[in-house]
Structure 1
């Protein structure tokens, strides 16, 4: 018998059916919890112009939590192939690196803030929480961003490097693209933050070795570990969170990589906007 899996759920028999959706029995393979999974056909939803309605339903269900009201556990959009995930991740890294070169730290990188143009190329959007470091100040101190994507040092309230925090978020995004679900996902924020701070996650079995290795190098909870390596015993295996230049040199990342070529542009004077 072939067992169908969607993310961390094993999908079983159909327990209900409507005009636009089926409801399946499913079980969380990590917790054993049984759930009802609503399965929608993407093409049918688009054909009948129901996208906004579905988004509204999801938004409403995220808000309500009551013993006598059905509860939304998660929304699964489906994972991308390895090649698709790598291509979008390459474009994400190029875009983030450019922002950093201009002294801009996004601080809220997540799939919802990544758009696609008509050519299928990624566009980073929503710079509402972005930061420009103050003159003479190397660390940022404002805690912001979406909890599931935020770097552990941002949660410490001790100041953090904006570039390294963005790199962490990029690692979470790569995981989501390839897995179809989050590496850190808990209802209780205290539990969620604890898992983020300790980088408690595991990669699905279908992750290729190269991607798995890269993700673990990015999701290192200690961004500046190498700064103290000189005081550690010889042979200590501590590493630091990988930097963008190292990501670009990673063998898995480099496959079919075409670095973006930037056109020559003039600086914009904000007084002219």
Structure 2
């Protein structure tokens, strides 16, 4: 079912529930570098369970459309819902522009009509640029304060999504988004090692890590990955990576621990298998990473890292930071010295 201004106004609690879902959806898009740029009730759908879905990404912008100044420059969207900085055509931040549109949507849901609605476009643009509108009498004072902060014509001082999530009016009855766990991301052997032990924080028991044969090495290689021989889902986000090192296995484990702890990760290790868990709750809960060191040759090791919990893009950011801290032990060839770390 499509939502729209013509359907009349909603009760405040009902409007708040849909607005909460909208903010969660837009926040998720922004975390992926996607800016919708045409948010309006007509692009919001309700499924059979009353769950809000954002649709029509035809005008959405991706990170590659951001210019060197860090801003988007294409004016688009439905005039009544467009932020003033977009109309000014001087470059705008996609995040704050979408937040403005969300504020207009909230107003429409609660009022049943648009805050900015003029037949003359020049007059309409002038009202939007000055944020000139009036609240209906039935709006609560707390909802008015929030909408006023969202419909701030200055994108620099406009409230952000993290600030909206902390707003008292917004938080009433709020249910954080629930994400389905990654079904294909498990490291049973790593979990088994820790489950079999009553003590988590222990030193390595084995003299050396597990050996990796040539077939396994090739299958994990960026240059010749056997996964490429099989059909894969388009736009699949990678959840694991690996690197090689000529350092001793014990030194690799210690270096990973030494680098991960200042990044806010709890480290558990046993038999050259390491569990890293972030102490901060991210977009999909705490980020968890399973790590294992394999022996490829007497003086060469491969280290595999796989996300076992949390958000995939947060895992990518984590690996880039970890890679910087491990630069002394990562084995790089002359060709790979100039390459960005790859998550595969």
Give the alignment's TM-score, normalised by structure 1. Answer: 0.64
- Alpha-carbon distance between aligned partners in 1 of 2:180 and 2:6, rounded to the nearest angstrom: 37
Deviation at 1:264? Answer: 3.2
- Verify: 1:254 aligned to 2:171, yes or no: yes
Superposition deviation, residue 268 in structure 1: 4.7
Provide the residue aligned with 1:171 in structure 2.
103
How many residue pairs get aligned? The number is 182
Ranges in structure 2 where 5+ consecutive residues have no aligned partner: 185-231, 237-344
* C-alpha distance in structure 1 between counterparts of 2:113 and 2:67, whole Å: 39
Q: Give 1:202 deviation, angstroms.
A: 1.0
Q: Is 1:102 the equivalent of 2:28?
A: no
* Aligned partner of 1:189 among 104, 121, 142: 121
2:80 to 148, 152, 169: 148
Pairwise CA RMSD = 1.7
Give structure 1 stretches of 5+ with no counterpart: 1-74, 225-239
Match of 2:148 in 1: 216
| Equivalent in the alignment of 1:161 | 93
| SS of residue matched to 1:123 | strand
Tell me the alpha carbon deviations over residues 238-269 of structure 1, each in whole angstroms, 9 at most, x when there is no partner. xx100001001000000000011112358952
Q: Does 1:111 align with 2:49?
A: no
In 2, distance between residues paired with 1:140 and 1:165? 10
- State whether structure 2 residue 186 is matched by structure 1 residue 269: no
For the structure 1 residues 268 and 188, does the alpha-carbon distance in structure 2 shift closer, same or farther, using more than 3 Å as the test?
Answer: farther
Q: What is the distance in 1 between the residues matched to 2:127 and 2:63? A: 28
Work out whether residues 153 and 160 of structure 1, in 8 Å CA contact, stay in contact via their aligned partners in 2.
yes
The farther-off stretch of 256-265 and 168-177 is: 256-265
Flag the 1:152–1:263 CA change in 2: closer, same or farther, 3 A: same
TM superposition shift of 1:76: 3.9
CA distance in 1, matches of 2:7, 2:46: 16
TM-score by length of 2: 0.51
Residue 270 of structure 1 deviates from its aligned partner by: 4.2
Aligned match of 2:17: 87
Q: Structure 1 CA distance, aligned partners of 2:78 and 2:37?
A: 9
Deviates more, 1:117-126 or 1:261-270: 261-270
Q: What SS class does the counterpart of residue 128 from structure 2 fall into?
A: helix
Q: How far apart, CA to CA, are the structure 2 residues paired with 1:203 and 1:97? A: 26
The verdict on how the C-alpha distance between 1:187 and 1:94 changes in structure 2, with shifts beyond 3 A counting, is: same
Distance in 2, matches of 1:204 and 1:270, equals: 45
Structure with the greater alpha carbon radius of gyration: 2
Asked if structure 2 preserves the Cα contact closer than 8 Å seen for 1:150 and 1:165, the reply is yes
Deviates more, 1:127-136 or 1:197-206: 127-136
Inter-partner Cα distance in structure 1 for 2:179 and 2:7: 32
Note if contact 1:133-1:140 (Cα within 8 Å) is conserved in structure 2. no
Distance 1:76 1:260 in 2: 28
